[in-house]
Amino acid sequence: MEKLRIGIAGLGRLGKVHANNIANKIPNAKLVAACSIALPELTYAEKELGVTRTYSDYRKMLQDEDVDAVVVVTTSSEHCWQIAAALDAGKHVFSDKPLGVTLEECKMAQEAVERNPHLTFMLGFMRRSDPSYAYAKEKIDAGAIGTPYMVKATGIDPESAVEGSIRFAKTSGGIFLDMAIHDIDLMRWFLGAEATSVYALGTTFKHLEFKDAGDDETGVAIYQFENGAVGSIHVGRTAPHGYHVETEIIGTEGSIRVSPVPAKNLSVLYNGQGVLTECVENFGTRFDDAYRLEMEEFVDCVLSGRKPGVTVYDGTMSTRIGFATTKAWKTGQIVRI
Amino acid sequence: MEKLRIGIAGLGRLGKVHANNIANKIPNAKLVAACSIALPELTYAEKELGVTRTYSDYRKMLQDEDVDAVVVVTTSSEHCWQIAAALDAGKHVFSDKPLGVTLEECKMAQEAVERNPHLTFMLGFMRRSDPSYAYAKEKIDAGAIGTPYMVKATGIDPESAVEGSIRFAKTSGGIFLDMAIHDIDLMRWFLGAEATSVYALGTTFKHLEFKDAGDDETGVAIYQFENGAVGSIHVGRTAPHGYHVETEIIGTEGSIRVSPVPAKNLSVLYNGQGVLTECVENFGTRFDDAYRLEMEEFVDCVLSGRKPGVTVYDGTMSTRIGFATTKAWKTGQIVRI
Amino acid sequence: MEKLRIGIAGLGRLGKVHANNIANKIPNAKLVAACSIALPELTYAEKELGVTRTYSDYRKMLQDEDVDAVVVVTTSSEHCWQIAAALDAGKHVFSDKPLGVTLEECKMAQEAVERNPHLTFMLGFMRRSDPSYAYAKEKIDAGAIGTPYMVKATGIDPESAVEGSIRFAKTSGGIFLDMAIHDIDLMRWFLGAEATSVYALGTTFKHLEFKDAGDDETGVAIYQFENGAVGSIHVGRTAPHGYHVETEIIGTEGSIRVSPVPAKNLSVLYNGQGVLTECVENFGTRFDDAYRLEMEEFVDCVLSGRKPGVTVYDGTMSTRIGFATTKAWKTGQIVRI
Amino acid sequence: MEKLRIGIAGLGRLGKVHANNIANKIPNAKLVAACSIALPELTYAEKELGVTRTYSDYRKMLQDEDVDAVVVVTTSSEHCWQIAAALDAGKHVFSDKPLGVTLEECKMAQEAVERNPHLTFMLGFMRRSDPSYAYAKEKIDAGAIGTPYMVKATGIDPESAVEGSIRFAKTSGGIFLDMAIHDIDLMRWFLGAEATSVYALGTTFKHLEFKDAGDDETGVAIYQFENGAVGSIHVGRTAPHGYHVETEIIGTEGSIRVSPVPAKNLSVLYNGQGVLTECVENFGTRFDDAYRLEMEEFVDCVLSGRKPGVTVYDGTMSTRIGFATTKAWKTGQIVRI
C-alpha cells in the first residue's frame, strides 16, 4: 500500500490533533517530518509520534525529498506564505483554516495554487467532514429539503473556555473573524451561492472585558446572497452547556438542523430535575472525527488525484466575508461584499 | 342545545376534577346534583359549582327525576353497587376506575349493565382519552405499525408523592392492584386480545416501609396473550423526575412510544448541566385533558346514543388480571388467567 | 359566584374560538351578547351558544346594560375605534391583536385607555398565556438563564395553508405586519426593553405569487435594543411539517427554547424512516389552551381588579416596530425606531 | 514506543474490523500475524494490512515468537480451545464473545486463564467500551442514579438484516443465545450482581420462518437477581428503523437510558411527515468506536499490566444465563440459575 509521506508544520493544540491522526489513525499516511519553532513540540513529535526528521526552519523541511505533502497548522498569519512556499517546492498542501489574515495574503496563496495545478491543496474546513454535516449535505444534494434558501448558523464556545478568549480579545481580530469563518463557509457551502451584503450587531452582557478590548461577547450577522437566499450567523463565547455549534438549513420542501442538541453521546439522564442530555465540552470532542476524516480526505485526494471539495477560493471568500462582517459590526452599516 | 343533567357521587380529589369539568368545561352537560357523606364536599359543590341539590344519601339522589346520569367517583369498594343501583334507577352511569375491588362485585355491576341495555355505562379509563394515547390508537388502527404484538407499559409515581403511598401500602391491595389497572387496560386495548398467563416480580430498594407493609416499591410483570402477543408492565413509586407514564406498542412494521419523556410543556432549557426537559409533576397535570375528554365522550355517548369504547367488561377483565398479577407476585409462580 | 357578562364583536374563525371559550369553558364568564355584520355569525351565536341578544350595530351592543365587557375580534382595521367606543361606554375591553393597523389609530385607542383608568383593557397576545411560553417567562423571571440578552423568534405557517396566504398577499400589509406582531411582542416581553433599530430581508423561492404581490414568502429581521440586547425574527409561509412557532431566549447563564419541535403530542413513532415526531397542524391546535387561558386572565383581571400583563402600549409598540420592520424590508435600509 | 505484536485468528466480517483497528488505528499495537482456514482472508491480511506472517494452522501461529498476543475472532465453537491453547503458549488473549457455546468449554477456558495469571485475558463485550455505555457506567459509579435496582435491556436487529437471521435460525441456538449475550452482560455489569432465576417468552408475528425453525422472532425475559434487583431483556429481529440497542438502568435516585433513539448522527430532519431522526443501520455502524476502544483497552492492559474489566467469568456467567433463559423459553417454566 502506497503511503503519503507528510511533514507537519506547527504542533500546538490542533497541530497535535492532526499529527496524531496522521501518525496513528490514517492507514495510507505516514508522519515523516515535523517543523516547529518551539523545541518541546519537536521533542513531542520525536518521543510520542516517532518522527525522526524534525525542523525548526520551515524552508528546510520543504527541501526534504521524503516529504510528499505538508500540513500547515501554524499561526494564522503564517499560513499563506507557507502554503505558497510548499506548493512551489512541489509539495501537496493541507492548511488549517483560516486561509490567511488579510485578503492580500489569501490572493497570494490562491495564485500559488493556480500556478501548481498538478498539486493538491485543501483547506481545513473540517466541519464539512463531520458525519452530521456531511449527512446534511448528502441529504440536501439528494433533494431532501428541496432548494435551500436560508441558513441559520450558530457557534458558541463553552463558557468554561472564556478566560482564554478574553485573553486574546485584543488580538483576535474580533469575534467575527475569530469565530465565524466556519459558519460563513457552511452558509456558502449549503446555499451554493455567494453573499452580497451583510449587516451585523454585537453585544456583551456577561464579560465586560470583551467590550474593554473593543470586542464583543456575542455577534449576530445577516447576509443577503446573490441568488436571493439569506443567511444568519450567531457567534458567542458563553454557552453554559458546552460547545454549541448548530446549523439549520431551510429549503422549499423541508429543513435540516445539525446538532440542535450537541449531545455528548446517546445517553439520557432522568433525575430530580427532569430529563437531561449532557453536551460536548469543546471543539476537540465535537469534531474529533471530523479532523481525522478531513485528513483522510486530503490523503485520499492526493493519492487518487481527486480534487478536494474545499478549495483555496473557499478560503479567500470566507476571509473576505469575515472582513465585511467585521466592518458591518464596527460601523453599524450595511456592507456590500 | 340539550344538556345532560348529571349528579355526581364523591367529591374527593378526583371527584372535584370531574365535578369542575361537568360544571364548567363541558358545554352539553350540567352538574345538577351532588352526593357525599362528607359535608364539606357538599358545601364545595354548592359554593364553588352552584349545585343546588345535594344529598348525603346516594339512593335519594337516584330518585331525583332531574338527574339523567350519575358520575361515580366514590371509594373503589362502593363503585359496583352504586353503578347497579343507578342503572336500575334508570340513570346513565359513568364510574371511575377500578370497576370494583372483587370479581364478584364486578360481575354484579356487569349484570346490571346487561339488564339495562338502553342505558349508557362507561368506565373511567381516562388514559384512552388522553390526546397522546388516542393518537397512538388512531395511528395503530390506521396501520402505522402493522400488527401490534407487544406492549411495554410503565407507570411510576413521582417520588414527591411517596409518603402518601407508604401510608396506604397496607390497605392498597398491593402495588399491582393499586397501580397497574390502567396499564393492564392499555395492553388489552392496544393488543386487542386477552392475557392468558402472568409472571411477576417485586423489589424494594429505597423505601423499606413498603416491604414492611408486605408491599413492594416496584413491580414488574410479563404477560402471555391468547393470540401469541406479549405484554410487560413496570410500576413503581419513586420516579425522581415526575409522574412517568410511558407505553410502547410494538408492531410488525413499527412502534409507537407514548410519552418516553413526560415533558411538562414544549420548552427546553439549556444550562450548565446540559439540555433539560422538565416533566409533569403528577397525574392531575398529566391527564388534565384526558379527564375532561372522557367526560365529554360519556356525555356525547348518552346524548347521541353511541356506545362508549370502554365497557364494563374492560373493568372486569382488568380487575381479574390485576388479581392474577398480584397472585403471581405473591407466590412467585406463573399464574394462568 | 359572580360572572362577567361579555358581549363579543366578530364571530369569524378566531371569534368563534373566543365565543366558545367564553360560553363554555370559563366558569366565571357568560356570553350574553354577540355582534356581527354577518347574519350567519349571529345565527351561530344563537343556535350554538345560546346567546339571546344579538346585534348588527356595534354601538347598539355598547348600550346594552347587561354587557359588562366587550371582546373585540373584528377585522384589524376596526379594532381601535371599537376599543375606544366600548371603553367610553363604560365597558371593559379585550381586543384581539393587532391593536390597530396605523399608529394614529393605536394612539387613539391608547388615549381611550388612559382616560378610562378604572376600566380593564387587555390585548390578545395569547402566546404569553400559552403554558410553554408562560413557563419560559417564569423560569426566566426566577433567574434560570441569568439576564436575557438575545431573542431569536421564528414563526412559520404550515405549507398546507399557503393558498390562503397567497390570496391575501396583496392586502395583508406584507409578511412582517401580517406575521411578526406576536414575535415582536415576545422579543419585547422577554428582553424587557424596546427596540431602537431594525434591518430586514425578504426572500421567495417557492411560491412566486408572493413576489408578484409585492410580498415575500420568508422574512428575516434583526433588531438592536436600547439596553444593548439583540433580537431576530424569522417569519415564513411554508413549513412542511406543520405550524412552527419557536422562540429562543438566551441569557448570561443559559437559554430556553420554546417549541423547537412543535410536537402534536407526547407520542413518538419509530418506523422505516427513523424516529418521527408529528407536529401541530395550525395555530388553532397549537394555541388552543392559550386562547382560553388569556380569556380566563382577562375575566379574572376584571373581576379582581388586577391589571393585565399585556397593555395597550404593547399594542402600540409592536405595531410601530412592525411598520419599522416593513420599511427596513422595503427600502433595504437600517431603520431607527 | 513499545508496540504489542498481535496475531489475529479469524478474518470474517468482525475479524476484519478488529484486524483493521489493530493495523491502522491503535498506536501501540501492530498486526504481525494472521491465521485463517480461508485463503482469501489471508490474502486480505497480506494485501490490505501488510501482514507478512500468515497461518492456516492456528497452533503454528502460537509458536511464532514474534507474536505477543492473540486476538480470537473465529467461529464461537472454536473460541475456548483456542483461548486455552494461546494462553498455554504464553500469549495474551483477546477473544470475541461469546466465551464458548457450552458451559464445559467455558470452564475449560476459565481454567486456562486461572493457570496463567501472569497473562492478560479479555473478552469482547465491546458495548462496555462504547462511549455511551461507558458514560452511563461512569455516571452510575459516581452516584448519579443512586443504587441501580433494575435494568431493561433491548436489542433488536434491523429488519433489513432479517434474511440472514432466518437462514441461521435452525443453527443459531435460538434467539436468546444468539442475541441476548450482550444484554445479559450489561444487566450483570450495571447491577453488580448475579441473576438467580429467569422466566421467558417468545413470539413471532411477521416472519413465520423463525417459528418453523423452532425459533422465535422476538424474545422477552425477566430476571430475579440475588440482591433483589430485577432485569428484563427484549430481543428481536425486525426493527424497521435500524439497529436498536437500548438499555435503561434504574436506580433509587434516577435512571439512565442509553440510546432510546439510536440516532445516526446529530442531524434532525423537518419534513412533510414531521420531525425525523434517522437511525444507525447496523451493529458495525453503531459500535464502530466500541470495537476500536475495546482493543485499545486490551492493548493498554497488556502493556501496563492492568487487569481488564471484562473477565473470563463474565463469559461463563453470560453463557450460563443464556442457557437458562433458553430453557425457560422452551419449557415455559421459571428456571433457577
- Given this model, what pLDDT does residue A126 score? 97
Which residues of chain B fall short of a pLDDT of 70? 1
- Given this model, what pLDDT does residue D1 score? 59
Q: How far apart are CA D12 and CA D17, in angstroms?
A: 9
Under an 8 Å CB criterion, which residues of D touch A? 1, 20, 23-27, 48, 50, 131-132, 135-136, 139, 144-145, 253-272, 278
Q: Which chain B residues contact residue C30 at CB under 8 A? A: none
Those residues whose C-beta lies under 8 Å from the C-beta of residue D97, and which sit 6 or more positions away, are D123, D124, D125, D181, D182, D185, D315, D318
Residues C207-243 pLDDT 10s: 999 999 999 999 999 999 999 999 999 999 999 999 9
Overall number of domains in chain D:
2
**Which of A154, A205, A226 should one mutate to test binding to chain C, selecting the residue with the greatest count of C CBs within 10 A?**
A205
Range of the domain at D87: 4-119
CA angle B44, B50, B56 (to 5 degrees): 55
Of D95, D119, D143, the residue that ends a domain is: D119
- Give the nearest partner residue to C240 out of A253, A332, A333, using CB atoms: A253
Q: How far apart are CA A316 and CA D227, in angstroms?
A: 65
Q: How far apart are CA D25 and CA D30, in angstroms?
A: 10
HSE-CB for D233 with a 13 A CA cutoff? 32
Question: How does DSSP classify residue B263?
Answer: B
- Given this model, what pLDDT does residue C1 score? 60
Question: What would the grid cell of residue D259 be?
Answer: 440510546
**Which of C152, C157, C198, C203 should one mutate to test binding to chain A, selecting the residue with the greatest count of A CBs within 10 A?**
C203
Q: How far apart are CA D327 and CA D321, in angstroms?
A: 10
Beta bridge partners of A268: D257
Strand C29-35 versus strand C53-55 pairing type: parallel
Q: Could you tell me if residue C301 is inside a domain?
A: no
CA-based nearest distance C300→chain A, Å? 32
Same domain for C113 and C135: no
Residues C68-123 pLDDT 10s: 999 999 999 999 999 999 999 999 999 999 999 999 999 999 999 999 999 999 99
Q: Which of B282, B246, B209, A272 is nearest to D145 (CA)?
A: A272
**Which of D46, D133, D266 should one mutate to test binding to chain A, selecting the residue with the greatest count of A CBs within 10 A?**
D266
Q: Which chain D residues contact residue C261 at CB under 8 A? A: 275
- Give the nearest partner residue to D276 out of C159, C242, C276, using CB atoms: C276
- Give the nearest partner residue to B241 out of A159, A240, A270, using CB atoms: A270
Q: How far apart are CA C50 and CA C60, in angstroms?
A: 19
Of B119, B143, B159, the residue that ends a domain is: B119
Under an 8 A CB cutoff, do A205 and C229 touch? Answer: yes
CA-based nearest distance A264→chain B, Å? 9
Under an 8 A CB cutoff, do B267 and C254 touch? Answer: no
Those residues whose C-beta lies under 8 Å from the C-beta of residue B273, and which sit 6 or more positions away, are A241, A273, A276, A278
Q: Which chain D residues contact residue A46 at CB under 8 A? A: none
Q: Which chain B residues contact residue A259 at CB under 8 A? A: none
- Given this model, what pLDDT does residue A2 score? 82
Determine the distance from the C-alpha atom of residue A140 to the mean position of all C-alpha atoms in its chain, rounded to a whole number: 21
Same domain for A173 and A67: no
CB B222 within 8 A of CB D208: no
CA-based nearest distance D89→chain C, Å? 49
Q: What is the mean pLDDT of residues D301-320?
A: 96
CA-based nearest distance D248→chain B, Å? 12
CB D170 within 8 A of CB D213: yes
Those residues whose C-beta lies under 8 Å from the C-beta of residue C14, and which sit 6 or more positions away, are C73, C96, C291
Residues A54-87 pLDDT 10s: 999 999 999 999 999 999 999 999 999 999 999 9
Beta bridge partners of B335: B198
CA distances, C225 to each of B61, C149, C196, C246, C321 (Å): 64, 9, 5, 20, 11
- Given this model, what pLDDT does residue D301 score? 97
Compare all CA atoms of chain C with the CA of B256 and give the residue at the minimum distance.
C269
Q: How far apart are CA C144 and CA B206, in angstroms?
A: 31
CB A275 within 8 A of CB B276: yes
> Predicted confidence band at D334 (pLDDT cuts at 50, 70, 90)?
very high
Same domain for B105 and B53: yes
Under an 8 A CB cutoff, do A241 and B275 touch? Answer: yes
Q: Which chain C residues contact residue A232 at CB under 8 A? A: 220, 222, 232, 234
Q: Which of B14, B329, B330, B322 is nearest to B187 (CA)?
A: B322
Q: Which chain A residues contact residue B236 at CB under 8 A? A: none
Compare all CA atoms of chain B with the CA of D154 and give the residue at the minimum distance.
B152
Q: Could you tell me if residue B233 is inside a domain?
A: yes
Q: What is the identity of the amino acid at C329?
A: W
Same domain for B205 and B169: yes
CATH number for the domain that contains residue B149: 3.30.360.10
Q: Which of D335, D220, C269 is nearest to B233 (CA)?
A: D220
CA distances, D125 to each of B22, B264, D76, D103, D188 (Å): 58, 38, 14, 18, 12
CA-based nearest distance C267→chain D, Å? 12
Which residues of chain A fall short of a pLDDT of 50? none
- The SS3 of residue B268 is strand
CA distances, A337 to each of A193, A195, C198 (Å): 13, 7, 20
CATH number for the domain that contains residue B28: 3.40.50.720
Q: How far apart are CA D38 and CA B37, in angstroms?
A: 84
CB D229 within 8 A of CB B216: no
Work out whether the CA dihedral A22, A23, A28, A32 comes out positive or negative.
Answer: positive
- Give the nearest partner residue to A220 out of C203, C222, C252, using CB atoms: C222
Q: How far apart are CA B246 and CA B223, in angstroms?
A: 17
Same domain for C271 and C134: yes
Q: What is the mean pLDDT of residues C311-328?
A: 97
Residues D249-283 pLDDT 10s: 999 999 999 999 999 999 999 999 999 999 999 99
> What burial class does residue A159 get, using C-beta atoms within 10 Å of its C-beta: 0-12 exposed, 13-18 middle, 19+ buried?
buried
Same domain for B133 and B111: no
- Given this model, what pLDDT does residue C200 score? 98
Q: Could you tell me if residue C308 is inside a domain?
A: no
Q: Which chain A residues contact residue D131 at CB under 8 A? A: 265
**Which of D267, D278, D300 should one mutate to test binding to chain A, selecting the residue with the greatest count of A CBs within 10 A?**
D267
Q: How far apart are CA C35 and CA C45, in angstroms?
A: 9
Q: Could you tell me if residue C181 is inside a domain?
A: yes
Beta bridge partners of D257: A268, D248
CA-based nearest distance A96→chain D, Å? 23
Question: What would the grid cell of residue B288 be?
Answer: 388534565
CA-based nearest distance A310→chain C, Å? 27
Compare all CA atoms of chain A with the CA of D244 and give the residue at the minimum distance.
A266
Those residues whose C-beta lies under 8 Å from the C-beta of residue A258, and which sit 6 or more positions away, are A132, A133, A136, A246, A247, A248, A249, D266, D267
Same domain for C94 and C135: no
What is the phi/psi pair of residue B211, to 5°? -55, -45
Q: Which of A141, A177, A333, A178 is nearest to A256 (CA)?
A: A141
Q: How far apart are CA A229 and CA A140, in angstroms?
A: 15
- Given this model, what pLDDT does residue C311 score? 95
Plot region of C173 (φ>0 → left; ψ -120 to 50 → alpha; else → beta): left
Under an 8 A CB cutoff, do B334 and D241 touch? Answer: no
> Predicted confidence band at C2 (pLDDT cuts at 50, 70, 90)?
confident
- Given this model, what pLDDT does residue B39 score? 96
- Helical (H) or strand (E) element with B122: strand B121-124
Same domain for D107 and D36: yes
Of A60, A89, A119, the residue that ends a domain is: A119
Q: Which of D161, D215, D143, D223 is nearest to D186 (CA)?
A: D223
Q: Could you tell me if residue C79 is inside a domain?
A: yes
CA-based nearest distance C159→chain D, Å? 9
Same domain for A99 and A144: no
- Give the nearest partner residue to B257 out of C24, C136, C268, using CB atoms: C268
Burial B227-258 (b: 16+ CB within 10 A, else e): ebbbbbbbbbbbbbbbbbbbbbbbbbbbbbbb
Same domain for D136 and D48: no
CB A12 within 8 A of CB A19: no
Q: Which chain A residues contact residue D269 at CB under 8 A? A: 139, 144-145, 254-256
Those residues whose C-beta lies under 8 Å from the C-beta of residue D250, and which sit 6 or more positions away, are B236, D145, D148, D149, D150, D151, D152
Q: How far apart are CA D273 and CA C240, in angstroms?
A: 8
Compare all CA atoms of chain A with the CA of B280 and give the residue at the minimum distance.
A274
Same domain for C111 and C39: yes
Q: Which of A262, A294, A267 is nearest to A281 (CA)?
A: A262
- Give the nearest partner residue to B270 out of A241, A270, A272, using CB atoms: A241
State the CB neighbour count (10 A cutoff) for residue B193: 16
Under an 8 A CB cutoff, do C275 and D277 touch? Answer: yes
Model-level pTM? 0.96
Same domain for C139 and C115: no
Q: Could you tell me if residue D202 is inside a domain?
A: yes
Under an 8 A CB cutoff, do B222 and D232 touch? Answer: yes
Q: What is the identity of the amino acid at C207?
A: H
Q: Is the pLDDT of residue C310 over 70?
A: yes
Q: Which chain B residues contact residue C135 at CB under 8 A? A: 264-265, 267, 278
Strand D195-203 versus strand D218-225 pairing type: antiparallel
Residues D82-128 pLDDT 10s: 999 999 999 999 999 999 999 999 999 999 999 999 999 999 999 99
Q: Which chain B residues contact residue D241 at CB under 8 A? A: 254
- Helical (H) or strand (E) element with D229: none
CA distances, B255 to each of B136, B223, D61 (Å): 10, 19, 49
- Given this model, what pLDDT does residue A155 score? 98
Q: Could you tell me if residue B302 is inside a domain?
A: no
HSE-CB for A15 with a 13 A CA cutoff? 27
Compare all CA atoms of chain B with the CA of A275 and give the residue at the minimum distance.
B277
Q: Could you tell me if residue C307 is inside a domain?
A: no
CB C203 within 8 A of CB C148: no
Under an 8 A CB cutoff, do A135 and D265 touch? Answer: yes
CB B275 within 8 A of CB B269: yes
